[in-house]
């Protein structure tokens, strides 16, 4: 009997948990103590058709684009740092919510177990993870591996930084890979209009290789270069419309060969016709950062170049689309702790012209990459939220763009200037602010009649008094203005209580 990818995942989860318990033996209690239970409630109210973007975006999908919403959340987590100094480190988490005004009422936001041994890490489950090269609190978000959508359940193996032999630590490598599966297939079918394309049983893959040059304890600068790649594959797609194949339902290979093909970026889909491409939806980013490791000042400049397929994987079509940013962390003071400034453009997409070779025109022209979209799959989204940069307008906003409930991105040609600031007036008070100014052109296939401007702003202050024993309150005010998502002003109040449970 063939084992499905989801069944294999849960079997692996059980085996891994059993092995960790066995390895812990009589010291198991040391590996499970230190957990924290957090109870949280959050309410958002606003004036427009949608809540202001920065009250919704980059919250790992536990948010709602609707004008008014609320969730009640319970989160039990243990960080692997609780085992600092031990050979084995164990972390786990269970995070559930009951939501109102969201796409779902009952939400399993996180459920995972992870183990570390030296520079190896294995994660099984669904976990919120921070941005890798950017300030999670202030940045507009990464182009490929963002924090805008709910995390995907996966099995991920990391090999953390290790020195290349003979380089005395001046050259280090880091790599990881993961396979997982989407849980939003039923939601896609229910949310989209009856004739629109959707997918069920969709699988997920990610991999990355990063190099770092420098030893900050000797010279306070390091340079990191990396390649991040992701893919959607397998499962089934319905209501697919293509000029090449007279078929509307496709069941893709989800067996071992499919896992191998997506790892090597090979294979093909039935919809490729006479021009085989690769199996699944592939995308990714080249990333780079130069970091200054000062004693009081820290700073980094970073760059990300997104690619939707092979045409933008190299530089043959130039480097016109990118995310460019700088972050400065200041010495301790009561005013400003961190400053982030970013510029992003996704307008070019290797130009507007695309043409496959024919008998009369043998030249292949690779353009119109159509970021985050795909012919067979509903694109780089999970439960309607972009899995990358939220300034590329997510699927859940398609009503505002005039396209009803269709699982496509209709505004992916965007240029944005973004600023983020944060401060810590005291150990009890914290504030942050974001401002994004965007120009929007829609897509090459469905352009806006005129370029549209949209501004997104947010300010938030939080208070966690020492005397309150784990209580924390935050108030955020948001403002949107423009012709993409319209005008909206809103407020968000979040109250939480954290306590150690054992």
Instruction: Evaluate if residue 260 carries a pLDDT over 60.
Output: yes
**pLDDT band at residue 367, thresholds of 50, 70 and 90?**
low
The answer to whether 50 and 67 have CB atoms below 8 angstroms apart is yes
| Cα 221 from Cα 170, distance rounded (Å) | 11
- At 317 the pLDDT is 77
Which carries the bigger pLDDT value, residue 9 or residue 2?
9
- Look up the CATH number of the domain holding residue 35: 2.40.160.130
CA atoms within 13 A on the CB side of 337: 16
CA atoms within 13 A on the CB side of 90: 18
Give the distance from CA 119 to its chain's centroid: 24
Q: Which domain holds residue 31?
A: 5-500
Instruction: Evaluate if residue 5 carries a pLDDT over 80.
Output: no
CB count in 10 Å sphere of residue 460: 20
Residue from 410, 416, 398 nearest 444 by CA: 410
Instruction: Evaluate if residue 21 carries a pLDDT over 60.
Output: no
- At 33 the pLDDT is 78
pLDDT tens by residue, 217-250: 999 999 999 999 999 999 999 998 876 666 688 9
Total domain count, the chain: 1
- At 32 the pLDDT is 72
pTM of the predicted structure, to 2 decimals: 0.91
| Cα 80 from Cα 262, distance rounded (Å) | 31
């Amino acid at each position: 009997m063939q084992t499905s990818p989801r069944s294999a995942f849960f079997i692996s989860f059980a085996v891994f948990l059993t092995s960790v318990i066995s390895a812990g033996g009589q010291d198991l209690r040391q590996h499970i103590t230190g957990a924290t239970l957090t109870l949280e409630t959050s309410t958002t109210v606003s004036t427009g058709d949608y809540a202001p973007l920065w009250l919704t975006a980059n919250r790992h999908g536990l948010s709602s684009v609707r004008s008014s919403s609320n969730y009640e959340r319970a989160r039990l987590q243990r960080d692997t740092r609780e085992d600092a100094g031990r050979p084995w480190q164990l972390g786990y988490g269970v995070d559930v919510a009951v939501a109102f005004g969201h796409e779902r009422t009952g939400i399993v936001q996180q459920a995972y177990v992870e183990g570390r041994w030296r520079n190896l890490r294995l994660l099984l489950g669904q976990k919120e993870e921070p941005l890798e090269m950017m300030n999670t609190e202030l940045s507009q978000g990464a182009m490929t591996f963002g924090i805008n959508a709910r995390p995907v359940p996966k099995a991920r193996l990391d090999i953390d930084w290790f020195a290349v032999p003979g380089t005395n630590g001046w050259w280090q490598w880091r790599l990881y890979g993961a396979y997982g599966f989407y849980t939003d297939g039923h939601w896609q079918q229910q949310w989209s209009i009856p004739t629109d394309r959707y997918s069920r049983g969709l699988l997920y893959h990610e991999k990355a290789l990063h190099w770092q040059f420098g030893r900050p304890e000797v010279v306070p600068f390091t340079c990191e270069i990396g390649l991040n790649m992701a893919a959607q594959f397998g499962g089934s797609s319905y209501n697919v419309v293509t000029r090449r194949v007279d078929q509307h339902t496709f069941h893709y290979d989800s067996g071992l060969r499919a896992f191998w093909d997506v790892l090597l970026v090979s294979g093909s889909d039935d919809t490729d016709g006479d021009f085989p491409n690769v199996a699944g939806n592939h995308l990714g980013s080249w990333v780079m950062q130069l970091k200054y490791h000062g004693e009081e000042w820290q700073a980094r400049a970073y760059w990300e170049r997104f690619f939707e397929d092979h045409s933008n994987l190299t530089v043959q079509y130039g480097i016109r689309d990118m995310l460019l940013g700088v972050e400065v962390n200041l010495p301790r003071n009561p005013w400003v702790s961190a400053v982030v400034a970013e510029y992003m453009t996704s307008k070019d997409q290797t130009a507007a012209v695309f043409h496959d070779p024919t008998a009369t025109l043998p030249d292949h022209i690779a353009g119109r990459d159509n970021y985050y979209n795909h012919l067979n799959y509903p694109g780089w989204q999970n439960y309607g939220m972009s899995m990358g940069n939220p300034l590329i307008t997510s699927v859940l906003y398609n009503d505002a763009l005039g396209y009803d409930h269709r699982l496509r991105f209709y505004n992916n040609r965007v240029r944005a200037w973004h600023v983020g600031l944060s401060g810590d007036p005291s150990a009890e008070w914290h504030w942050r602010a974001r401002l994004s100014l965007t120009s929007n052109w829609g897509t090459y296939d469905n352009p806006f009649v005129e370029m549209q401007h949209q501004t997104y702003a947010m300010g938030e202050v939080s208070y966690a008094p020492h005397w309150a024993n784990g209580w924390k309150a935050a108030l955020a005010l948001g403002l949107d203005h423009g012709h993409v998502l319209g005008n909206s002003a809103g407020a968000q109040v979040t109250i939480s209580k954290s306590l150690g449970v054992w």
